[in-house]
Amino acid sequence: MLQPSIDRLISRGKPATQSSVSEWSQAPTAQEDAAGALNGKIDGARKFHTALEQNPWWQVDLVKNYKISEVRIHNTCDATSSRLKNFSISVSIDGEVWAEITRKDDDIPVEGGCNPYIWREPWPAWGRFVRVTLLGTGYLHLDQVEVYTSEPAEAVGFPISEISPADKINPNGDVTVVITSCNRHDLLEQTLRSFEQYNTYNAIKEIIVVEDGDANPEHICARYGARLIRINTRRGQLHAIDVAYSYVTTPYIFHCEDDWEFYRPGFIEKSMEILKSDLSCVCVWLRAWNDTNGHPLSFRARCKTFGVLACGYLDMWHGFSWNPGLRRKSDYDAVGPFSRIFNHTDDLDEPMVGNRYAALGYRAVILDEGGYARHLGWERHIAA
């Protein structure tokens, strides 16, 4: 007998859609037909049916972002149940950028009845949308899809301001978070709020915000348990970084600017694994693969868990970036202080530092396809 999930079902009755409808669909529209897979009636019957097409898909909108701990796919029990062999499950926070969390491509049909396909991993996924995609050309039809969360009901939508920053600060931690700021304090607060919400690493020793200028975001830093360093006059980003890094005593720095929004957990843990296993990696990117500001990837893992940024993009970009990401303090010490070595030439500071690291044989790695952070300050750029 199938054991019930230990977690909370969150997909029942939620909005759904699919890639197409067919003459075998139960309803005339994609939304109405797809909804059948969420009605809770597990009886082996087809609850929706796409047309014959390349990579047909079905998806559910959970209405809000959840920590997704388990997905169950119940196949039909009729003569065509053998069609469900190879497929993927992906999650998204916006319905546009998707991260594949598992792929079944063993050509073995999923059993029907009380033996669903179950995805459950130690690391939960994060998202609002869950999609099932058939691999190859075929029809997609299922009995039921169930999505579960390990979050208790009262935790969903829990106000971030009520979570104590001290819960994730560890005096013996090995990571210092450094955020450079320059009088964009509304964006700074979004950065700190989303970092607090999605960071799951419990060995952060300190959060440092360095304010390059005479502004004072003291109240924002206090709200999120961050240490504020004020330079009191505009000196430029390289100088601000050098000042902040001079206070760092941990072997790792999570570097960030004041205009980023985090949207998935686990990024420091996964970045740490890469830095510890690849000494040639100078920093780990957190952006989605389709959001690299045009910078191409020279390598993409087949499982889409990581990639490598190409060297020589536009003859000046080699992967090093001020974008949010984990890096070693020792790599900074080997090249810095930045402001004493590199000429301050507005937006050329970043590629000049990157050129130095590339000459030393370093490269940059990016985490999985769906990304973990997005840029907020496109229209409010501050020159370096």
pLDDT digit string (tens) for 108-122?
Answer: 999 876 689 999 876
Domain range for 268 is: 160-375
Residue 306 included in any domain: yes
Q: Tell me: do 13 and 137 sit in the same domain.
A: yes
Q: Tell me: do 61 and 101 sit in the same domain.
A: yes
Q: Tell me: do 136 and 23 sit in the same domain.
A: yes
Residue 34 included in any domain: yes
Q: Where a domain ends, among 155, 181, 196?
A: 155
Q: Where a domain ends, among 107, 134, 155?
A: 155
| Eight-class DSSP state of 37 | G
Q: Which residue has the higher pLDDT, 376 or 93?
A: 376
Q: Tell me: do 146 and 215 sit in the same domain.
A: no
Q: Where a domain ends, among 103, 122, 155?
A: 155
Q: Tell me: do 250 and 122 sit in the same domain.
A: no
Q: Tell me: do 217 and 363 sit in the same domain.
A: yes
Residue 114 included in any domain: yes
Q: Tell me: do 345 and 210 sit in the same domain.
A: yes
Most confident of 5-14, 89-98, 249-258: 249-258
Q: Is 243 helix (H, G, I), strand (E, B) or coil?
A: helix
Q: Tell me: do 217 and 145 sit in the same domain.
A: no
The CATH number given to whatever domain includes residue 31 is 2.60.120.260
Report d(CA 120, CA 148) in Å as an integer: 10
Tell me which residue has tokens 């304010």.
Answer: 211
Max Cα separation, the chain? 74
Q: Tell me: do 26 and 53 sit in the same domain.
A: yes
Q: Tell me: do 108 and 218 sit in the same domain.
A: no
Inter-residue contact 66 to 10 (CB < 8 Å): yes
Number of compact structural domains in the chain: 2
Q: Tell me: do 35 and 58 sit in the same domain.
A: yes
Report d(CA 275, CA 247) in Å as an integer: 22
Residues 6+ apart with CB under 8 A from 334: 360
382 pLDDT tier (thresholds 50, 70, 90): low
pLDDT for 384 equals 47
Residue 308 included in any domain: yes
Q: Tell me: do 305 and 339 sit in the same domain.
A: yes
Q: Exposure pattern of 346-372 as b/e (b: 16+ CB <10 Å)? A: eeebbbbbbbbbbeeebbbbbbbbbbb
The CATH number given to whatever domain includes residue 186 is 3.90.550.10
What percentage of the chain's residues is helix, strand, coil (to nearest 5)?
A: 25, 30, 50
pLDDT for 344 equals 55
- CA within 13 Å, CB half, 96: 5
Mean of the per-residue pLDDT values of the chain: 87
Residue 382 included in any domain: no
